[in-house]
Structure 1
Amino acid sequence: MTHNQVVSSIKDTDLVEKRRNQMIQGAITLFKEKGFHRTTTREIAKESGFSIGTLYEYIRTKEDVLFLVCDAIYEQVGARLEAAIDWQNPSVATLEKVVASYFHLMDDMQEEVLIMYQEVKSLKKETKAYVMQKERDMVAMLQKVIVTCLPEPIAERDAALIANNIFVQGQMWGFRRWMLQKQFTLKTYIDRQIHFLLESLPIDTAADEKLN
């Protein structure tokens, strides 16, 4: 299943995108308040600003809405990472830019990410597998940035682990906000995480000091 395979009886793709974005925002509000299982499709329609009949022109089931929420998150993450990567001029500074951009996005999408991880278990096996693959794709993109931007070679396994660390650290800003956001500003959090990241990488010390 992909975003475009969620069945709609409406052929106007721009309208479908507009209505589904409304559904996503409405569903996020309700899932945050009530959870996926206690939220009805009628409530999602009302929160989104249209009738239940209109809702079913764009989706088939409530699970479709949850899938669209998950898919939208990963589409935005992928787009944000791609926009921050300068493949023609890879450098440690580029890596820092990508990590900072990802952390900022995780700050912007705290509610969406929390809901996704709380409710992804409600997806059917095949749709859950699609969502998990999207996450692997995002981590793989971070891994590629690490390998490409470092001046010295790094073992594939190490790059994979570091990429996973970055991915989770971004999400942690939302998951543990009850503690972290009382102790750090977003800027301080990003600065410290990048500092620790650079310390763990095979970068020449003099070059590292020059960068910072």
Structure 2
Amino acid sequence: MARKRPDEAGVVSQVKNPKLVRTRRRQIVDAAVRLFIEKGFHKTPTRQIAEAVGFSIGSLYEYVSSKDDVLYLVCDAIHDEIEKGIHSAMSAKKTGLDGLEAVIGIYIRVCDTMADHLQLIYQETKSLPKKWRSHVLENEVRITGIFVELIENAVEKGTLATMERSSIELMAHNIMVTGHMWAFRRWFLKGRYTLDGYIAFQTRFILAAAKEGRKSQVIGQR
């Protein structure tokens, strides 16, 4: 048997072609999401995931070592797509408030595209081994940190009011949750709002106080 090697996600693979590994794992992730949502993580046999992708069970195990790996890759996929979208928006060279607004819009659009994956993260992260749960939480914190930096940039440019660090962090977490809300409550929201309308409203809502020049404070801060 070929010696397994770790890839950038920390999941080992017997296949040496990184491009092929990424392609096959995305197929595995998309098939697994549908099955996990329909049947639940624990009630979905690994063999059924392989069949849904069109693999033999042996072929599946060339790209992952366990069903836990598959669930982690689902989580990793949503974070990867979010970061790609954010960095794509940031490459437009917009700064200050314009840059922040552009990234919020892209972020919510990615959450819409990956809504099933995102919902699954929250339903099944508890099923992951401790090391994978830690990675998932680290990814969440890292992405939130990108929003913190963008808000700080807008404050430095004078397009947002001066805020304490705790308030900046809370605003960044609010942005993250706003994207999640579109994914989790789409059963209600999509019947009443377009995606563009939702993005426009939530962006105005999040930034309204700062645009008006009010200094945000976290009440009850410790």
Indicate yes or no: 2:48 matched with 1:43.
yes
TM-score normalised to the size of structure 2? 0.86
1:106-185 paired onto structure 2 within 5 Å:
106-150=111-155, 151=158, 152-185=161-194
4+ runs of 1 displaced by more than 3 Å?
1-4, 86-89, 202-205
Q: CA deviation at 1:169?
A: 0.7
Give unmatched runs, 5+ long, in structure 1.
Answer: 206-212
Which whole-Å CA distance do the structure 1 matches of 2:192 and 2:113 have between them?
A: 19
Residue in structure 2 matched with residue 103 of structure 1 by the alignment: 108
Indicate yes or no: 2:19 matched with 1:10.
no
Q: CA RMSD in A?
A: 1.9
Contact (CA 8 Å) 1:154, 1:202: kept in 2 or not?
A: no
Contact (CA 8 Å) 1:140, 1:163: kept in 2 or not?
A: yes
Which whole-Å CA distance do the structure 1 matches of 2:150 and 2:7 have between them?
A: 25
Q: How many residues align?
A: 205
C-alpha distance after superposition, 1:13-69 (max 9, x if no partner): 222112111111110111121111111110000111111010011111100000111
Contact (CA 8 Å) 1:8, 1:57: kept in 2 or not?
A: yes
Contact (CA 8 Å) 1:99, 1:194: kept in 2 or not?
A: yes
Which whole-Å CA distance do the structure 2 matches of 1:200 and 1:86 have between them?
A: 27
Comparing 76-85 and 127-136, the one that deviates more: 76-85
Which whole-Å CA distance do the structure 1 matches of 2:92 and 2:210 have between them?
A: 19
Q: CA deviation at 1:163?
A: 0.5
Q: CA deviation at 1:203?
A: 4.8
Contact (CA 8 Å) 1:8, 1:59: kept in 2 or not?
A: yes
Which whole-Å CA distance do the structure 2 matches of 1:153 and 1:81 have between them?
A: 24
Change (3 A) 1:158 1:202: farther
Q: CA deviation at 1:178?
A: 2.0
Contact (CA 8 Å) 2:7, 2:13: kept in 1 or not?
A: no
Give unmatched runs, 5+ long, in structure 2.
Answer: 1-5, 215-222
> Percent identity between the aligned chains?
38
